[in-house]
Structure 1
Amino acid sequence: MARSELILGGQKSGKSRRAEALAQAWLLESPAHSACLLATGLAWDEEMRARIERHQHDRAERVPGMRTLEVPLDLAGAVRAHSQPGCLLVIDCLTMWLTNWMMPMPGQPPRSQDWAAQRAGFLAALAEAPGPVVLVGNEIGLGVIPLGREVRAFVDALGMLNQQVAAVCSHATLMCAGLPLVLKSP
């Protein structure tokens, strides 16, 4: 098991399935092992609410021993609180976490001014985590340059976050059509 692995890819590329397979393998490796999913998604509409429920149901079937914590904002605090040598953390997903910071739901105050401090705190917590961590995120920078300043800023911020997380992680994998392409491995 890698100490830390960043799994990137497009939507429905197999990112979460790979993370779940790594968690299941970790749990089967030793009865002393545990796994915890740090879920970052927020249900901002009915479709997203149904999607989250479907993910929860499917994940419970595929990895029955993994508990789930909802962590839409304070990933650094969650990593510090829950990382242990015998506990694998799965963070799914960095893209939704960034969305929660840069594009809060209607009625919530803007938070983007705090993003740099949050990102720095999270990268430090990840580097110091005593247990293994698997991180899932989207690679959205492969297409055309988006129209609109806010969307370009989001794509840029996610690209930088992915680079910085990959630098901290021992392994990085790109998923495409359910197939892993190793980007970084010691």
Structure 2
Amino acid sequence: MHMLARSELILGGQRSGKSRRAENLAIEWLAASPERQAVLVATAHVGDDEMQQRIVQHQIDRARRVPRLVAVEESLYLPAALKLHSTDNTLLIVDCLTLWLVNWLMPPPGVPAPAQGFHHTVEQLVHTLHGLPGPVVLVSNEIGLGVVPMGKEVRHYVDELGRLNQTMADACERLTLMVAGQALFVKGAPA
């Protein structure tokens, strides 16, 4: 049993166990009381058939593992979505910041980006995190451990995600790095 932090950032590589850890936290949260709720704020935008298949598989797996987890979609307006769904009896899971950033850099067709810009929205997100009545788990990829990538756009994305992850790690009570399904507590380890 893990003691849930008020806010936790879960980082890791692709298929490292990030989402599974978030789901396990939701299972524990929901098991503690029938009045509790858990809401997944999904940031993915379907851009191609392979992504659609991934999303559908995630939905099937999640419904099987955590049947009481309610999913909502929000590709850009994350601070507003968190405010809307947070209560003292509701655990929020944002999966994931990695795709949220992609949506900002390459907005989905027909979805206007907020006028204030990404960095202002990140500041809003930090402010929102500190004011929410219930716990929040943020999931993001750690992609900056390799060589400097080729291509200006890719380097820009890796840099922006690194800055976003640092900002969220500073803002959260707990930082967990997932490696091969194992949780390494970098900040705010459970007692």
Same fold (TM over 0.5): yes
Q: 2:161 pairs with 143, 158, 161, which one?
A: 158
Q: 1:79 pairs with 66, 69, 82, which one?
A: 82
Equivalent position SS for 1:104 = coil
- Which sections of structure 2, spanning at least 5 residues, go unmatched? none
1:103 to partner: Cα distance? 2.1
- 2:149 is matched with which residue? 146
Map 1:105-184 onto structure 2 (within 5 A): 105=108, 114-184=117-187
- Which sections of structure 1, spanning at least 5 residues, go unmatched? none
RMSD after superposition:
1.7
Q: 1:63 pairs with 27, 42, 66, which one?
A: 66
How many aligned residue pairs are there?
186
Contact 2:76 2:113 in 1 (8 A): no
Alignment partners' CA distance in 1, 2:124 and 2:62: 28
TM (norm. structure 2) is 0.92
TM (norm. structure 1) is 0.95
Letter in 1 for 2:78: L
| Identity across the alignment (%) | 53
Letter in 1 for 2:145: L
- 2:15 is matched with which residue? 12
1:120 to partner: Cα distance? 1.3
Alignment partners' CA distance in 1, 2:111 and 2:66: 33
Gap change, CA 1:46 and 1:163, over 3 Å in 2? same
Letter in 2 for 1:25: E
